[in-house]
Amino acid sequence: MANRGPAYGLSWEVQQRIDKQYDPELEQILTQWISAQCGGIQSPEPGKEKFQEWLKDGTVLGKLINSLYPKGQGPVANTKPSDKAFKQMEQISQFLRAAEQYGIAPTDIFQTVDLWEGKNMACVQRTLMNLGGLAVTKQDGFVGDPNWFPKKSQENRRDFSEDKLKEGQNVIGLQMGTNRGASQAGMTGYGMPRQIL
């Protein structure tokens, strides 16, 4: 994990809150999906540190984003493993640019150091979850268990009787505001000094 010492005080508290957001069950779902999507990639052992090591060099992420495009048209050209830190971080950055081009919102994308240093693996999980959901929506990705990714548009149909619908037309919602208690008492014209008697 980089050359940082242990965190103390407020930094420690912030890191603890970030670490609580990490979901081990979601980790299993994501590793299964990535392995199935890429075909032939060995899944890591369970655990946040193992998950981070698996993704840290950027090769798995590069293969993942390339698998969502037609063969030979993947946006990440080099998916070879490297031991050099700057190469690994460059591959992660290429994945992030490609994910944004694929349709992931910039606010939903993790920062390179979140993965490389393992500081915010929950954010990495959210990005991969959003990518998987978008791939299923676009029908580019492997759709194994349909419950892996939530469907974006689920219909919430309700049936009301005619009487209920007419009743709803007479109600003024609170979002529209109310004029109760409003008066013009104490109002003066603009530019006129207040009259003190």
pLDDT value for 91:
86
Report pTM: 0.64
**Residue length, the chain?**
197
pLDDT value for 1:
46
pLDDT value for 17:
80
Per-residue pLDDT of the chain in tens (197 residues, 90 and over written 9): 455 666 677 777 777 787 777 878 888 888 888 888 877 787 788 888 888 888 888 888 888 888 887 777 777 777 777 788 878 788 888 888 888 888 888 888 888 888 888 888 888 888 888 888 888 877 776 655 555 554 555 677 788 888 888 887 777 666 666 666 666 666 666 666 666 76
Whether 101 contacts 75, CB under 8 Å:
yes
**Helix extents (H) in the chain:** 9-20, 24-38, 48-56, 59-67, 85-102, 112-116, 121-138, 162-169
CA distance 29 to 22: 13
DSSP string, 143-181: --STTSS--S---------HHHHHHHHTPPPGGG---TT
CA distance 41 to 32: 10
